[in-house]
Amino acid sequence: MNYKTYIYIISVLLSTFALSGINFNNFFKKNKIIESRLLIILFSLALGYLVGTFVITFIELSKII
């Protein structure tokens, strides 16, 4: 596997861990647990992609210098 894949996997896992500390249930109606968990999954994928892209770009730019 490519090192980019590992970076994306690690960043998604770290973002999931970071977002698990936020109680999203307060933003939803009662008994809407599935929707709040789906939001956490979508946020963690989006945040993991952004962090992973930043790290990969930083590594590639540091090789140039």
Question: Who wins on pLDDT, 40 or 6?
Answer: 6
The reported pLDDT for the residue numbered 36 is 82
Could you tell me the residue ranges of all domains in the chain? 3-64
Encode pLDDT of 19-34 as tens digits.
888 887 778 888 888 8
Burial class (CB in 10 A: 0-12, 13-18, 19+), 4: middle
Per-residue confidence (pLDDT) for residue 52, from 0 to 100: 97
